[in-house]
Amino acid sequence: MNPYQVLAAAAADWDRLAGLLEPASGRQLEALLQALRSAEQDGPDRLQAAEEAARLLLEALPDAESGRLDDASGARFAGDTQDRAHLGFHADDLAVLVLDGHRMVGPVLGPIRARILAVPALDPDEVRLLGGDPGAAGLLRLTGPGGRPRLPGFQFGVAGTPLPTVVEVNTVLDAERDPWGVADWWLSANAWLGGNPADLLGAGRDGQLVDAARYLSEEE
């Protein structure tokens, strides 16, 4: 059994499997996945967390589901402990699904999440050092590698102050409910605006940014 591949296979089918776990098993899985993603990459603690989480799933799920996960882990890799994927999903994707509660994982949405997290960002302590408040209303707060909070840097002006246009747009688009979707809006090409909204901040087009956000929210 490759424990990472068991977790990856669970991530690929998590919409269905999540409802099959007893609450106590779900809580144990959360703790193990937290340990998994906070551990050093390729370190013994990460492997131990992966093995315990995989074993928990195989024991807690119905036999038919356990058999599917075990098969997906690849018998030909018996004893293998490389961090292998399954259908484009990875073990860390299960941590995102279970701990963060969003679906920016897998072969389709995972690259979008990676692109968003590649944008310059600040952690809460860095925002405070600038004199800002990382908990201020209207800010995008994302979960980065290791479960660490990340606040995209385009949101801030001098002294860590949130840009008023960003706060207004994030409020209109309900970033509290869907931070990843709103981050993708800011960082993706917009045909109507002729560029990425984040790149247009402070370029004399802030009113258009707000109008575009309002139009999108009304369409939804």
- For every residue of 13-42, DSSP letters joined together read THHHHGGGS-HHHHHHHHHHHHHHHHSPTT
What per-residue confidence (pLDDT) applies to 79? 67
Residue with tokens 């385009």: 154
pLDDT at residue number 78: 56
Sign of CA dihedral 44, 49, 52, 53: negative
Q: Quick one: pLDDT at residue 219?
A: 76
Confidence at residue 83, expressed as pLDDT on a 0 to 100 scale: 87
User: Is 133 within 8 Å of 127 (Cβ atoms)?
Assistant: yes
CA distance 85 to 88: 6
Give the residues across from 150 on adjacent strands. 142
Regions of the chain short of the pLDDT cut 70: 74-79, 220
What pLDDT does 25 receive?
98
DSSP state for residue 40 in the 8-state scheme? P
CB-based contact 89:97 (threshold 8 Å): no
Q: What is the rounded distance in angstroms from the CA atom of residue 77 to the CA atom of residue 175?
A: 42
pLDDT for the residue numbered 81:
84
- Give the pair of three-digit tokens for residue 140: 């995008």
Q: How far apart are CA 105 and CA 90, in angstroms?
A: 8
